[in-house]
Amino acid sequence: MEKAYLTMKNSGASSITLGIIVLVVGVATGILAIVNGAKLLKHKKEITF
């Protein structure tokens, strides 16, 4: 029984850690996308095809 609880504890801890990492990366990616989109919109009059 003890081994099963230890495995569940380790699995839960790693899942929380992975979730936090994914959240931070997702927020950073979203911020970068917004900043780059704003730069493109700001300079769209300068683009000629």
Tens-digit pLDDT profile for residues 10-35 = 999 999 999 999 999 999 999 999 99
Query: Where do the H-state alpha helices sit in the chain?
Result: 2-42
Give the amino acid at 44: K
Q: Is the pLDDT of residue 48 over 90?
A: no
Under DSSP, the state recorded for 1 is -
| Alpha-carbon span 37 to 27, nearest angstrom | 15
**pTM for this entry:** 0.71
CA dihedral 13, 18, 24, 30 (to 10 degrees): -150
What is the per-residue pLDDT for 47? 78
Q: Is the pLDDT reported for residue 45 higher than 90? A: no
26: closest CA among 34, 14, 37?
A: 34
Q: How many domains does the chain have?
A: 1
Boundaries of domain holding 7 = 2-46
Q: What is the pLDDT of residue 17?
A: 97
